[in-house]
Amino acid sequence: MRTVSGYSESATTRAQSPGAPGLLCARELTVCYASRGEPSSPALLGIDFDIAPGEIVGVLGESGSGKSTLALSILGLLPESADIAGSLVFEGKDLLRFDESAWRGIRGARIAMVFQEPGLSLSPVMRVGSQIAEVLRAHRQEGSNHRKLQVEAVLAEVGLTQVDRIYKAYSHQLSGGELQRVALSQALACRPDLIVADEPTRSLDGTRQKEMLDLLRETNRKFGCALIFITHNPGLLAGFADRVIVMYAGRIVEEGPVSRVFRRPLHPYTKGLLQLMPTSLQYAGRTRGQHLPVLPGTLTDDDHLSPGCSFASRCSARTQVCQTEFPAEVAPEKGRRVSCFNYEN
């Protein structure tokens, strides 16, 4: 296990991460972004989690909570300025010890990513088909004809009907929904064991979001690939994910099966998030000028560095101890964990 000086964990008594051990296990995963002459700011602070083969795990958190950093570190795509420590074990091998060529064998083939904004993650000057073929080309030695057939097959799998048109199209010629499916087909091309989807539905409207979720669920069932679904919208996870990990300021504050966490959230942050989900009833009862309820305060850099609970400054249930000490993880029931001194209130 590697450590980064300064952040090698204060919370020593932690509950064992629930969920079956298996595909991917992160222990004390810490990521800091260094900038010249300034103290490095941590983006992930000693994260522990496990992903079992074939399960869907939702990662929930607001901007700045470290979700995207988590996604990038699973694929070893963090920028050079990032300093990573801890361990990230994929099928028994620590990914953080991998060199570039070992990473290349994993990326796209065993772990694949569906990037945010598919319009930007596709090259504007290459045909969509050849960009999907690129993935196959990087990992398998096959003839180009065979590769083309595979690309067409995978395009059909993600529910695209006009395969020929899309194969030849450039990214700007496709609609948002089509682009998102193309992005998924890129990730699926080599049949990975784990797909990391970073807000894949962000640029889509409600109907398309629903379609995309159904498609992801279907792929998950059909190919048995595990899915890490990163989002800031708890509404998407209900009825979709098996488990949810709630992140705040670079830490996991709560984790558990989606149904149970959503029915009875324990951490005040989770409670806040769930209460604030706008429903149509809330919209209907409101007149112009009235605002929807928001969680007071914002997530700042100071919250990352505070010795106490990072949510304390915004928490309505905070006590004296919250300011000075980070709450250790506790497992209130089987399969759940939470980091809060006052979760029972």
Residue from 20, 102, 126, 292 touching another protein (CB under 8 A): that is 126
Q: Measured from the CB of residue 342, what is the shortest distance to another protein in angstroms?
A: 40
As a whole number of angstroms, the distance between CA 181 and CA 147 comes to 19
Nearer to another protein, 121 or 233 (CB): 121
Nearer to another protein, 106 or 273 (CB): 106
Point out which span in 45-53, 131-139, 233-241, 242-250 binds another protein (CB under 8 A).
Answer: 131-139
Binding mask 60-79 for another protein (x = CB under 8 A): ---------------x-x-x
> 266 with 332: CB under 8 angstroms?
yes
Q: Residue 336 interacts with another protein (CB under 8 A)?
A: no
By the rule CB under 8 A, 113 interacts with another protein: yes
CB of 224 to another protein, least distance (A): 20
Site string for another protein, 172-211 (x = CB under 8 A): --------------xx------------------------
Which of residues 79 and 285 has its CB atom nearest to another protein in the complex?
79
Does residue 121 belong to the site contacting another protein (CB under 8 A)?
yes
Structure-token match 């996604």, residue found: 71
Q: Which residue, 106 or 253, is less far from another protein as judged by CB? A: 106
**Edge-to-edge order in the sheet of strand 38-51:** 38-51, 24-35, 82-90, 93-94
* Binding segment (CB under 8 A) for another protein, from list 7-15, 28-36, 85-93, 119-127: 119-127
Q: What is the distance, to the nearest Å, from the Cα of residue 260 to the centroid of all Cα atoms in its chain?
A: 20
Q: Is 172 left (phi over 0), alpha (psi -120 to 50) or beta?
A: alpha
In terms of CB distance, is 80 or 344 closer to another protein?
80
Q: Contact between 115 and another protein (CB under 8 A)?
A: yes
- Fill in the per-residue mask, 136 to 155: x = in contact with another protein (CB under 8 A), - = not in contact: --xx----------------
Site size for another protein, by CB under 8 A? 30
Least Cα distance to 185 among 233, 223, 145 occurs for 223
d(CA 244, CA 256): 6
Task: Give least dist CB 55 to another protein, A.
Answer: 22
Per DSSP, the residues of 249-316 read TTEEEEEEEHHHHHHS--SHHHHHHHHT---HHHHHT--TTPPPP--SS---HHHHH-SS-TTGGG-T
Measuring CA to CA, which residue among 99, 322, 93, 114 is closest to residue 201?
114
Kindly state whether residue 112 participates in binding another protein, applying the rule CB under 8 A. Answer: yes
Contact of 238 with 262, CB cutoff 8 Å: yes
One residue of 117, 142, 211, 325 binding another protein per CB under 8 A: 117
Instruction: Sort strands 93-94 and 82-90 into parallel, antiparallel or unpaired.
Output: antiparallel
Dig out the tokens for 162 from the structure: 């006009």
Residue 80 touches another protein, criterion: CB under 8 A: yes
**Least distance to another protein from the beta carbon of 177, Å?**
19
Position 107 contacts another protein (CB under 8 A): yes
- Token pair 């304390």 is at which residue? 312
Q: 103 by DSSP, 3-state: which? A: helix
Judged by the rule CB under 8 A, the positions of this chain that interact with another protein are 75, 77, 79-80, 100, 104-109, 112-113, 115-117, 120-126, 131, 134-135, 138-139, 186-187
